[in-house]
Amino acid sequence: MSKIAIIYGSSTGATEAVAEKIQALFDDAALFNAESVSIDDLAPFDFLILGASTTGVGDLQDDWESFLPKFEKMNFTGKKVAIFGLGDSASFSTSFAGGMYILYKALKGKVEIVGSVSTDGYTFDDSEAIVDGKFVGLALDEDNEYNETESRINNWAKDLKKYLN
Ligand SMILES: Cc1cc2nc3c(=O)[nH]c(=O)nc-3n(C[C@H](O)[C@H](O)[C@H](O)COP(=O)(O)O)c2cc1C
């Protein structure tokens, strides 16, 4: 059985709340805050789900900043990663959920990244987090499209379960 860890960075609690909802969709997934998690904490897990809101203009949520360089030292053998990101597609329509791309960029080439998501059904103008026409992970908007969140996370979790052993 894959061991799942969900690691989140959250400024006002929105990403944390979504991380808990995603946790509830998997059997026995562990939850960590990016601000306090260590490489050793994550060693036993073979499926990592990383969540972050976007701050600044397309920037990664602050709690991730200290952990990000640690990806360089991590042993990803046998691991897979999926990313989710929260944003505000109305107020930040040209940088929607862009923080996901910073996680993606830090991990690309080091580990298999799964769980990209079609941009269909979202309303925004641009996002750094689109690679090859899809979001690099699950984009969520708790500010404007909260009615969509439950079905979006349910569909995504179903997709991720294909990659679990
Ligand atoms: C200063 C600031 C900058 C933001 N910049 C962006 C942005 O560039 N793109 C985006 O999609 N959302 C942006 N947001 C919206 C947040 O990502 C969104 O409200 C999110 O749900 C916050 O989640 P959190 O409470 O987990 O941090 C910004 C919010 C703030 C306060």
Residue-wise pLDDT for 53-99, tens only, equals 999 999 999 999 999 999 999 999 999 999 999 999 999 999 999 99
Q: Which residue's CA is the nearest one to ligand 1's atom 12?
A: 87
Measured from the CB, is residue 54 less than 6 Å from ligand 1?
A: yes
Give the model confidence (pLDDT) of 11-50 as tens digits: 999 999 999 999 999 999 999 999 999 999 999 999 999 9
Quote the number of domains for the chain: 1
- What is the number of other CB atoms lying within 10 angstroms of the CB of residue 90? 13
pLDDT at 1: 73
Q: Is residue 128 part of a domain?
A: yes
Q: Is residue 160 part of a domain?
A: no
pLDDT digits (tens, 9 = 90+) for 93-106: 999 999 999 999 99
Give the three-state DSSP class for 68: helix
User: What distance in Å separates the CA atoms of residue 31 and residue 134, rounded to the nearest whole number?
Assistant: 26
165 domain residue, yes or no: no
- Better-scored residue on pLDDT, 28 or 1: 28
Q: Which of 55, 61, 62, 135 to mutate to test the pocket of ligand 1 (most atoms within 8 A of CB)?
A: 55
